[in-house]
Structure 1
């Protein structure tokens, strides 16, 4: 699996065999979050207090994979620069290692699958960044920790020669980004949400509340996301999180 990296000098340092460090050394430098004061300081809190994570939706499976645990000492040399920030922003080192793993997987994908996977990685990483303690600014580039985090990631993108998946680091509003993630996931899950057997009894009330919530977001974003012509359909300005096809309108689900 690593040979392609070994024989390519440009990618050589991404080989897992060169990315491991002593587990004891890493454990010594990266303290468990529960032992840090910063763990009690929340990141950017979602304005919507409801948790709309449904375990039986397709997007949940993908996000669980992206966020799955990874051996602490994997990709150490790439993410070591984040250790100095981990006490105040606990979890930022681990997030870096997961990000590198996910980008390596992206780099091995066939072209037609990369766009979709990149969209998931983008939504996932912004959502995880906002949860990091003491990350409370709207501009991600205003903190040394995040600046160093994305510097490391862009370095990996260059080494992996990924030219079709980039991440904005300027003027990111976490509240707005979370809304975009809700919309992105809604469109990805739409076919499953149409299934009349998706829920039972009281659980259906939660799904119904979720659809009403999405309907409000849909109304908020449709005018800025779609430019529609009388005879030629609609142009999608932000296809990575909003589909203009009226068949996806949440009203189609509320009417069933």
Structure 2
């Protein structure tokens, strides 16, 4: 694949390999194609949701929405319908809202071929980047996550430790340390048999932002992905990270919105 692949072609490849061809991300996760929906069902601390849908009519969409609500509700699981701007029908987001889903903030999926990235091996003064290999490291990643994003990291940290323990070929995590203090963290998810590696959870604690830590963490993860044979990096970029990623060579592909359904208590 040439390093000049257009964003539209990368999006088509992503739809084919990562959405329609989604694979389990852990030993207890199940990916199924049910009609024109690809869904992932995992334990409560895992990610549960709809990876892809391709409806040919509004009626088919409504029936599928009801079916997925029944599937996850019967298991007592909240789930996410990850809606992409090019998904059909065009009013699918409105139909999800009408069915009881809550829309989260939009994100911008971006992608880049590893050979086309502008990377640097430099790290900010006083910072070292180290791999995460054990529960103590996962605890430090969770500490950064909570300070950087302001939300609870207990489910995420359990999922990361599970992956590092049972399927270490599918994930790698890194920490940025100032001395022995964790100030940045991130992970890369590597999907065997695909072109893609996903950058997730990249965060820096507030007092260390603006010094190049996020860029250094992207570089480290890009090198891990390339060494393991993944040619394309993808990331759901926030407004804060988009300019940095553009500078490194990432291009926006589309817009995605998470629609979350909470089962009645």
TM over 0.5: no
In terms of Rg, which structure is larger?
1
TM-score, normalised by the number of residues in structure 1: 0.31
More strand by share: 2
More helix by share: 1
TM-score, normalised by the number of residues in structure 2: 0.30
